[in-house]
């Protein structure tokens, strides 16, 4: 699976990842004390869903295209994401604009919060830097995101959210690197919140990795939340989207069980896919994935 941000912007996996990111940011904002947000693979920040790259596979049609930005769904985290997308498009005067995780996160950061955005690809980094010029609480760096995130720990705020979103071009290597980075982050800052996006391609492979990750970061808690739109054991390519969250905020798992069914209904074909939320890899599923 050759991953490029522009090719997949706004697809079902982006929806899952971005609603989860919003949920995490809202949870951290419940406390007045500031925090550091680190995005290890930040991309360019903003995307045009009408561009040739985005329309190559028209993946956004099966993602953000299934929602009406600004129209309430009844789930606060989903509504906050949709409101952010609607506001972004209004500011850009572009109905096909879509914010990547850095610009999405910026809308939920408070004056006491900071952001470190890292991108290794030179062209993407140049675009990202243009998006965030003249913002003193945001640092944009051209570097290896894994190493830079670890070096940033512990933050002066003593609170942090690190989003690890590697491209998984080298599938096995990127999975291993994500787990190694999570372990290194915890060695330097044991209470930081770490959110790892991962592709769901073959169920047995993802289950094995989650189990290994849980063992590696023990005794820190691990929340794994998955949304799939195709059978998890098919060889279609990207069957689903996963978020592995180390040190999840209080009640995050309960809130995910409230809005993941909505994402499933909107993003999967009738009778296809499902969702799952579990607090540890060795525990049974905490809910029965709906399959209607």
Q: List, by residue number, the catalytic residues.
A: 165
Nearest CA-CA partner of 149 in 136, 133, 161, 159: 161
Distant-in-sequence contacts of 281-286, Cβ < 8 A, 24+ apart: 281/207, 281/210, 281/211, 281/213, 281/214, 281/222, 281/224, 282/211, 282/214, 286/253, 286/257
Angle, in degrees to the nearest 10, between helices 12-28 and 252-267? 160
Helix (H, G, I), strand (E, B) or coil at 204: helix
Contact criterion met (CB below 8 Å) for 88 and 69: no
């Amino acid at each position: 699976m050759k991953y490029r941000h522009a090719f997949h912007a706004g697809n079902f996996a982006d929806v899952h990842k971005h609603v989860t990111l919003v949920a995490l940011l809202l949870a951290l904002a419940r406390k007045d004390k500031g925090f550091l947000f680190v995005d290890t693979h930040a991309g360019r920040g903003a995307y045009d869903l009408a561009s040739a790259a985005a329309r190559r596979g028209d993946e956004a049609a099966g993602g953000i295209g299934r929602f009406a930005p600004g129209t309430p769904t009844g789930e606060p985290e989903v509504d906050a994401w949709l409101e952010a997308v609607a506001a972004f498009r209004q500011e850009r005067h572009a109905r096909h604009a879509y914010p990547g995780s850095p610009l999405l996160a910026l809308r939920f950061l408070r004056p006491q919060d900071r952001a470190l955005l890292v991108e290794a690809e030179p062209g993407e980094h140049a675009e990202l830097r243009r998006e965030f010029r003249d913002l003193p609480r945001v640092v944009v760096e051209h570097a290896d995101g894994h190493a830079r995130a670890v070096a940033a720990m512990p933050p002066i705020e003593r609170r942090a959210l690190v989003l690890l979103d590697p491209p998984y071009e080298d599938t096995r290597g990127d999975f291993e690197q994500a787990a190694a980075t999570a372990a290194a982050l915890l060695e330097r800052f044991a209470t930081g919140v770490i959110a790892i996006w991962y592709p769901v391609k073959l169920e047995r492979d993802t289950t094995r990795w989650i189990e290994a990750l849980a063992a590696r970061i023990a005794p820190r808690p691990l929340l794994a939340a998955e949304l799939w739109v195709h059978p998890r054991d098919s060889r279609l390519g990207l069957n689903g989207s996963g978020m592995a969250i180390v040190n999840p905020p209080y009640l995050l798992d309960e809130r995910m069980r409230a809005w993941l069914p909505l994402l499933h209904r909107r993003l999967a074909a009738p009778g296809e896919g499902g969702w799952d939320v579990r607090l540890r890899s060795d525990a049974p599923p905490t809910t029965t994935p709906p399959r209607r």
